[in-house]
Amino acid sequence: MSLLNTSSLLGREAIIDFPDSQAVVHYSPQGVLFWKVTDCKGSTSEGRERLSYLQLSDTLHFLNWIEKSGFTVSQVVDTARGTVKAFWSYTDENTNGAQRASMFVDGQFRFR
């Protein structure tokens, strides 16, 4: 676990609206992320992940975690603007090389 500085983000819950899904997240003070995602079809998934976290400023936060499936998430959360810039990397057998694909996704962030 990599946690640097204390943060108004840790110990809080939030909702992130992405174009095709909504995530309800809890950032524990111990650096564990609890998440539940509901996609546009109503399907849900959830998990508990160990966070790597770096507070960049009072309102800007960088987070990264790797889920059990190998799905990897990096996010820059701006609590002042209510935005998230996410980078997702995941297994895709139809790609060359390491059989991984990736994409950037923008989201809207709000504390719960």
- The predicted-structure confidence for 74-109, as pLDDT tens digits, reads as follows 999 999 999 999 999 999 888 876 789 999 999 999
pLDDT tens-digit map of 2-23: 444 445 788 999 999 999 999 9
**Which string of b and e fits 5-44 if b means at least 16 CB within 10 Å?**
eebebbeeebebebeebbbbbbbeeebebebebeeeeeee
- Answer whether residue 42 shows pLDDT above 90: yes
Q: How many CB atoms lie within 10 A of CB 80?
A: 9
